[in-house]
Amino acid sequence: MKTLITGGAGFIGSHLADLLVSRDYYVLAVDNLSLGTIENINHLTNHKKFKFIKEDLLHLDKLKDSFQENKFDAVFHLAANSDIAASATNPEIDLNNTFMTTWNTLECCRIFHVNKFVFASSSAVYGDTIRELTEETGPFLPVSYYGAGKLASEAFICAYSSMNNIQSWIVRFPNVVGERMTHGVIHDFIEKLKSNPKQLEILGDGNQKKPYVYVKDLVEAMFFIYQTSKERLNYYNVGVEDQTTVTEIAKIVCEEMQLGNVELKYTGGNAGWKGDVPHYEYDLNKINSLGWRAKYSSTEAVRLAVWSILSK
Amino acid sequence: MKTLITGGAGFIGSHLADLLVSRDYYVLAVDNLSLGTIENINHLTNHKKFKFIKEDLLHLDKLKDSFQENKFDAVFHLAANSDIAASATNPEIDLNNTFMTTWNTLECCRIFHVNKFVFASSSAVYGDTIRELTEETGPFLPVSYYGAGKLASEAFICAYSSMNNIQSWIVRFPNVVGERMTHGVIHDFIEKLKSNPKQLEILGDGNQKKPYVYVKDLVEAMFFIYQTSKERLNYYNVGVEDQTTVTEIAKIVCEEMQLGNVELKYTGGNAGWKGDVPHYEYDLNKINSLGWRAKYSSTEAVRLAVWSILSK
């Protein structure tokens, strides 16, 4: 079984590569190394079932060459801008890195007859809403360019799937944490506390509350869905039952760094940045019915992620 | 009130220009004339409140110039590929003409602070489903590249609206018919019967059943929604209560062409072409509650459209 992982040197992509290689899949990891790193895949580079190519998915001709040379059985498309906060002032980042990367990859699947496509989507497709998020229930009103890029990607995956009989799995991630993560609230807090262990500035009011999934749980779920769900078009939320607030994360970071009496200073407002969805909760009935549950809760995942950064 | 209509020389865009000018709006119509025609707007060219520029929205720099020169109060974005059947073999048509035209127009609104955006969306965003289509209910699983391009456009409109406080109106059109239409089933039937008045080939089994709205009803609805619905993000189905089958359309065309004993020959299958949605029905409660209903039924709209073509 020959697979392509786009974004294969990234935070999540490299964990997926670990998993697929361990299951005896051949993996070609493609990454432009803008957010991914060689360090993430160093341990794999001598593996006989793993190969890495530095390439930007925006170069469609180069991507076609890779598809031509390798007869992929399946594509796991994870490449995307992953930093919602960073793209807030420049929509072109998500147009290109989140959406056009998907379109180019789909176009190669169409041309080279690859008929299995697994996609890393996001809770951001739902937008900012108080309802529990179920896969079927609209409206879908993304509030960030990132969410728009993911929803636009889903739209074209549906059409490509239908027009070309490409079996597709859309997996909507929650917040993902763990080894090799490159940014986000946990990172920020650790960096801030390293430079000032007395005070921690928290963006927003600290009540932002989201489900955090441990990265190894997530890639297991992705692989499980791919193997188990048999429709032409399959789409699932992946998550955990509980959620963790930003203030709780701050406290866990302080505990694990063994810092007492840190003053938490809030910038105020309910969202951490423009485009942020401060609260969401997944309905997980669909994936639970398929037979999957996360090993680690949201709060356990956060603690694991803190450990992994501190122990580097 | 200074407005931009993209696709302003097109079938629907030119009718909207007629309406807006009649309501004393200033209209700049932009069109690349790939599907639109000068003939559609000839009657407007001497109107002091109307101006036309031939320009392709894919040229972002040129579009920026138009936004810079004209301080638009509102944009009505109608430019798109409108021929779903034609784009089935080339997804790039809808990527560019349906989606990227939207992104470029949104980007200009962001840069030049135009904070009213009205969008011509489509029933195609819902995909092929037996349920009655309500604005809120997902999933949204388009089966054509055209539907994907429209859903991708909606996704970015939501994000731009949220990120830049652009008030937006998404209007999901059903099939639209009437004067100045350039293609579609009515056109095809008339052309075929002109060359062979004895026999009419019908794509599919003839049972495809859809709501057809008369173009003047549609642009009235679009303008009504724009004036009446006051949320930051507004989204509505526009349609008619009834639907018309393809066989019924064939019979109306034969009647109006005064042809008796035409043999109807079916190619078979439930869809007319790949990417076609053979049946759909709108829930219209939302727009009815806002205070709008179509003047003409689906079957009346079809007959009006047949007349308009035959009387040219």
DSSP bridge pairs for B263: B199
What's the distance, Cα to Cα, between the start and end of chain A in Å?
34
Show the tokens assigned to B288.
Answer: 């009815």
A235 contacts on B by Cβ (under 8 Å): 139
The answer to whether B28 and B49 are in contact (CB under 8 A) is: no
Query: Which residues touch A221 (CB under 8 Å, ≥6 apart)?
Result: A171, A213, A238, A287, A292, A294
In single-letter form, the type of residue at position A123 comes to: S
**How many whole angstroms separate alpha carbon B134 and alpha carbon B284?**
8
Residue A231's pLDDT is: 98
CB contact under 8 A, B144 and A163: yes
Query: Inter-axis angle of helices B298-310 and B185-195, to 10 degrees?
Result: 40
Whether A287 is in a domain gets the answer no
Q: A199 and A83, same structural domain?
A: no
Looking at this protein, which amino acid is placed at residue A92? E
**Inter-chain contact B152–A147, Cβ cutoff 8 Å?**
no
Q: Are residues B53 and B154 in the same domain?
A: yes
Q: How far is CA B238 from CA A138, B119, B259, B291, in A?
A: 18, 12, 33, 12
Question: For residue B105, what pLDDT is reported?
Answer: 98
Active site residue B266: no
**Do the Cβ atoms of B148 and A139 come within 8 Å?**
no
Residue B289 within a domain: no
Q: In whole angstroms, give the CA distance from residue B200 to residue A131.
A: 51
Alpha helix ranges (H) inside chain A: 11-22, 60-69, 84-87, 91-93, 101-111, 145-164, 185-195, 215-228, 246-256, 285-290, 298-310
Contacts of B18 (CB under 8 A, 6+ apart): B44, B219
B231: CATH: 3.40.50.720
Q: Which helix (H) or strand (E) holds B175?
A: strand B175-177
Cβ-based contacts of A135 with chain B (< 8 Å): 138-139
Using an 8 Å CB-CB cutoff, list chain B residues near A110: 91
pLDDT at residue A82, rounded to an integer: 83
- Six-digit token string for B237: 């189905």
Helix (H) or strand (E) holding A213: strand A212-214
Q: What is the DSSP string of B274-311?
A: TT---B--B--HHHHHHT---SS-HHHHHHHHHHHHHT
Domain co-membership, B183 together with B171 = no
Contact by Cβ (8 Å): B205, B276: no
Indicate if B122 and B252 belong to the same structural domain: no
State the smallest CA–CA distance between residue B247 and chain A in angstroms: 25
CATH code of residue A207 = 3.90.25.10
Contact B138 A140 (CB under 8 A): yes
**Shared domain check, A266 and A163:** no
B94 domain-assigned? yes
If asked whether residues B82 and B192 sit together in one domain, one would say: no
Chains A, B: CB pairs < 8 Å: 128
Q: Is residue A190 part of a domain?
A: yes
| pLDDT value for A280 | 94
User: Range of B302's domain?
Assistant: 177-211+242-280+295-310
Which tens digit of pLDDT belongs to each residue from B55-108? 999 999 999 999 999 999 999 999 999 877 778 999 999 999 999 999 999 999
- Which positions of A are annotated as active-site residues? 146
**Residues A72, A74: Cα–Cα separation, whole Å:** 5
**Cβ burial, residue A100 (10 Å; 0-12/13-18/19+):** buried
A64 φ/ψ angles, rounded to the nearest 5 degrees? -60, -40
pLDDT at B64: 98
Same domain, A106 and A200: no
Token pair recorded at residue A295: 């090993």
Tell me which chain B residue has its CA closest to the CA of residue A94. B156
Return the residue of A nearest to B90 by Cα: A107
Neighbours of A71 (CB within 10 A): 10
Q: Pick the closest to residue A146 from B160, B121, B95, B148 (CA basis).
A: B160
| CB contacts, 8 Å: B140 with chain A | 138, 140, 155, 158
Cβ proximity of B303 and B252 under 8 Å: yes
Residue A161 resides in a domain: yes
pLDDT at A272: 79
**Residue B275's pLDDT is what?**
85
Measure B190 CA to nearest chain A CA, in Å. 29
CB B272 within 8 A of CB B225: no
Q: Which residues of A lie closer than 8 Å to B, measured between beta carbons? A: 88, 91-92, 95, 99, 103, 106-107, 110, 125, 127-128, 135-145, 147-149, 151-152, 155-156, 158-160, 162-163, 233, 235, 274-275
CA A190 to chain B, closest CA, distance in angstroms equals: 29
Contact A126, A150 (CB under 8 A): no
Pairing relationship of beta strands B244-245 and B209-210 according to DSSP bridges: antiparallel
Contact B6, B67 (CB under 8 A): no
Does some domain include residue B63?
Answer: yes
Q: Would A288 be classed as within a structural domain?
A: no
Inter-chain CB proximity B143 and A162 less than 8 Å: yes
Distance CA B189, CA B191 (A): 5
Bridge partners for A235 per DSSP: A170
Q: What pLDDT does residue B284 have? A: 97
Q: Which residue do the tokens 């998500």 mark?
A: A94
Backbone angles phi, psi at A92, to 5 degrees: -65, -30
Please state the ipTM of this predicted complex. Answer: 0.96
| pLDDT of amino acid B225 | 98
Chain A CB contacts of B276 under 8 Å are none
- Residues of A with Cβ-Cβ distance to B91 under 8 angstroms: 106-107, 110, 156, 159-160, 163
Catalytic residue among B25, B146, B235, B282: B146
Q: Å from A233 to nearest chain B CA?
A: 9
Structure tokens at A31: 């990454």
- Determine how β-strand B116-122 pairs with β-strand B74-77: parallel
Q: Are A200 and A260 in contact (CB under 8 A)?
A: no
- Per run of 10 residues, the mean pLDDT along chain A (length 312 residues) is 98 98 98 96 96 98 97 98 85 97 98 98 94 90 96 98 98 96 92 96 94 98 98 98 96 95 93 87 97 98 96 86
pLDDT attached to residue B83: 79
Helices and strands (H, E) in chain A, number of each type? 11, 13
CA distance B62 to chain A (A): 18
A274·B163 Cβ contact <8 A: yes
Q: Mean pLDDT in each 10-residue stretch from start to end of chain B (312 residues)?
A: 98 98 98 96 96 98 97 98 85 97 98 98 94 90 97 98 98 96 92 96 94 98 98 98 96 95 93 87 97 98 96 86
Quote the distance between the C-alpha of residue B305 and its chain's center: 15
Task: Evaluate the omega torsion of the peptide bond into residue B139 and state whether it is cis, within 30 degrees of 0.
Answer: yes
The number of distinct structural domains making up chain A is: 2
Edge-first strand listing for the sheet containing A74-77 = A50-54, A26-31, A2-6, A74-77, A116-122, A167-173, A233-237
Residue type present at position A264: L
A189 and A253 together in one domain: yes
A149 three-class SS: helix
Q: Which residue of A has its CA nearest to B166?
A: A143
Report the 10 Å Cβ neighbour count for A183: 15
Chain B residues near any Cβ of chain A (below 8 Å): 88, 91-92, 95, 99, 103, 106-107, 110, 125, 127-128, 135-145, 147-149, 151-152, 155-156, 158-160, 162-163, 233, 235, 274-275
Residue B46 and residue B83 in one domain? yes
Whether A110 sits inside 8 A of B91 (CB atoms) is yes
Tell me the shortest Cα–Cα distance from B257 to chain A, in angstroms: 36
> Quick one: pLDDT at residue B271?
80
Q: Which of B141, B150, B166, B237 to mutate to test the interface with A (most CBs of A within 10 A)?
A: B141
Quick one: B278 exposed, middle or buried, by C-beta within 10 A (0-12, 13-18, 19+)?
middle
Q: Does residue B287 lie within any of the structural domains?
A: no
DSSP B40: G
pLDDT at A86: 78
Q: Are residues A151 and A267 in the same domain?
A: no
Do B97 and B115 belong to one domain? yes
Q: Do residues A156 and B147 lie in contact, with contact meaning Cβ atoms separated by under 8 Å?
A: no
* B44 and B86, same domain (yes or no): yes
Instruction: Dig out the tokens for B203 from the structure.
Output: 């794509």
Residue A247 backbone dihedrals phi, psi, to 5 degrees: -65, -40
CB contact under 8 Å between B155 and A155, yes or no, is yes
